[in-house]
Amino acid sequence: MTPESFTSQLCAWIPASLIIQASQRLQAEPELAASPSQIVLQSPVLKSVREAAYLEMLEEFLSHFQLAPTLIEHAETIEGAHCSDDSRSILTQLRFEGSLSELRADSRDTGATRLAVVSERDFMADILLCPLRMLTDLVSGYAKYWRRAKQKEVNVFLMQSSDGSFAASIERRVAQAYGFDVGAFGQNDFLAPKSNYRSTTLLYTTTFVAAKPSLLNHFRALAVQVAASTLAPLPEHLARKVPHIKR
């Protein structure tokens, strides 16, 4: 995933109301809107901003930040508001002009470690808050698993459970930061190891099955097929990655 695409995905977490509020504040109170402000980033999992490639992703997001015109138009539609041409021009030209400072490990009494401080103009801090928190939560969640996998020195084959490439790309970067070779996105992302693996999930949707009983039979047959496939030999390209498993 390119830095631009990564940043665009994170910007989707900016509430529409905050984009409109920023536009209004820049028009009504530009000096107050531009006053200094800070965002403290903290995590109950990460012990340092440099852990799990978190700092790398923070810097990538902030250095490529910009509001796409379509995002501003979406905010106007959702909020039923209209940005003036001047405000829209200012919003589309917004870039990160602040600083990112690393903090020394400090958990205080909250149970969460203070990792870094983002200093920016007040209206920009409002805009950046939600995507920064979303990134922190995602990295923290994945780090909890991959750190434990590293501590136990286990061999892992990554099977993505997310629907899109955004969360999957973040998990891959976190895994790589802990020393796991999980390859590039799109290579065997939805393949599971087939050695000593007997877990099968049956998808059951009550409404559909009630309307079409044949669907249940379809899922039953599919479950049997998936379970049977776990007995098949491990593919050659996976066997090379997991040498301790017999082919």
pLDDT in tens, 151-180: 877 666 566 656 568 888 898 899 899 988
User: Is residue 228 situated within a structural domain?
Assistant: no
| Bridging pattern class, strands 99-102 and 113-121 | antiparallel
Whole-number pLDDT of residue 56: 97
- Of 201, 188, 204, 195, the closest CA to residue 229 belongs to 195
Mean pLDDT of 33-47: 95
More confident position, 155 or 38 = 38
Q: What is the pLDDT of residue 149?
A: 84
Find the domain containing 71 and state its range: 3-152
pLDDT reported for residue 120 = 97
Residue 41 lies in a domain: yes
pLDDT of residue 159: 61
In a domain, 78, yes or no: yes
Return the pLDDT at 246. 43
How many alpha carbons lie under 13 Å from residue 107 in its C-beta half-sphere? Answer: 7
Order across the sheet with 36-43: list the strands: 36-43, 113-121, 99-102
The string of DSSP codes covering 29-49 is: -HHHHTSEEEEEEEESS-SST
Whether 212 and 204 have beta carbons less than 8 Å apart is answered as no
pLDDT tens digits, 173-208 = 998 999 887 765 444 444 333 344 444 444 444 444
DSSP letter assigned to residue 23 = H
C-alpha distances in angstroms, 181 versus 121, 172, 184, 187, 231? 40, 9, 9, 12, 25
Task: Examine residue 236 and state whether it is found in any structural domain, yes or no.
Answer: no
Q: How many CB atoms lie under 10 A from the CB of residue 58?
A: 21
The rounded distance, in Å, linking the Cα atoms of 24 and 126 is 13
Please name which of 233, 39, 34, 209 lies closest in space to residue 121, comparing C-alpha atoms: 34
Has residue 187 been placed in a domain?
A: no
Question: Which stretch, 68-72, 101-105, 150-154, 192-196, has highest mean pLDDT?
Answer: 68-72
Structure tokens belonging to residue 44: 């109950």
Closest by Cα among 232, 166, 228 to 194: 232
In a domain, 196, yes or no: no
The four Cα atoms 203, 9, 59, 159 give a dihedral, to 10 degrees, of 20
Asked whether residue 185 is domain-assigned, the answer is no
In whole numbers, what is the pLDDT of the chain averaged over residues? 80
Q: Could you give the number of structural domains in the chain?
A: 1
Give CA–CA dist 133/23, Å, rounded.
Answer: 22
Of 31, 96, 90, nearest in space to 59 by CA: 96
Domain-located, residue 203: no
Q: Which residue would you say has higher pLDDT here, 3 or 86?
A: 3
Separation CA 56–CA 173 (nearest Å): 10
Q: Can you give the pTM of this predicted structure?
A: 0.72
Q: How many helices (H) and strands (E) does the chain have?
A: 11, 3
